[in-house]
Amino acid sequence: MAVVMKSRIELSGKTAIVTGGTRGLGRDIAARLAESGCSVFICSRNAPESLPDGVTFESCDIRDADQAKAFVDKVAAKTGRIDILVNNAGGSPPHEASTASSRFAEAIVRLNMLGPLYMSQAAYPYMAKAGSGSIVNIASVSGARPSPGTAIYGAAKAGLINLTQSLAQEWGKEGIRVNAIIAGLMTTENAEATYGDAEAQAKVGASMPLGRMGIGDDLAGAVLWLVSDLAQWVSGARLQVDGGGERPYFLDLVKGA
């Protein structure tokens, strides 16, 4: 059983944006940032029924560059600064690559790679002017290993990982740190669609080195560290938050399992 810990990292006075922060992992990240003292702004296309304390919602489709810029400008106008950007929004339903339409492919790439680029471009002037800032891109193991059944999503996340490292080098001279979290197998409100029912999810968790799938607070803890002064010389990193990784399938085949 995972133990949820309150953050001990202090981020008072900072302004943070979390995309896709209305539910699931993004909501957990937003809540932990707020608990650490940030003024937190989240966005998605649809408003949530409720918000964590200290979190403000704005409607925005990050796949549209103009909307992304307008959202970031609005937050900066309210707070006078943009310190932290967490590009969390993303995802994809399963779809065979052989039958994926161009419209589907473009939508997945826009959400998982271009959206984070648009948000980062919008935040850049504010961070560059301040001489500091931290951008965290939530990537996936799908972008670091084959992703059959979600090939387009995996390719987009691979692009996001590369974008992270490139922006870290381009923008480092302005004091902007850019890092990626390669999230492993996580329990979310949509976990059933990916991992099956509760029994199947339990088996998946038991197969992992730390004996369980990840939860939102696991991801949020990594985000808090990356955006804090504890990681002030960490940029361009690909931080794996995956409970030790997936067990190689061939090991079970060798044993006849």
Per the listing, tokens 């810990």 go with 5
Q: Which residues pair with 187 in a beta bridge?
A: none
Task: List the catalytic residue out of 118, 124, 126, 153.
Answer: 153
Residue 153 known to be catalytic: yes
Q: Which two tokens stand for residue 116?
A: 């984070």
Cα separation, 254 vs 225, whole angstroms: 39
Residues 140 and 182 sit within 8 Å (Cβ to Cβ): yes
Q: Which two tokens stand for residue 15?
A: 């302004």
Cα separation, 62 vs 65, whole angstroms: 7
CB within 8 Å of 82: residues ≥ 6 apart: 15, 17, 72, 75, 76, 123, 126, 127, 133
Tell which residue, 216, 167, 163, 209, has the closest CA to residue 189. Answer: 216
Residues with a known catalytic role: 153
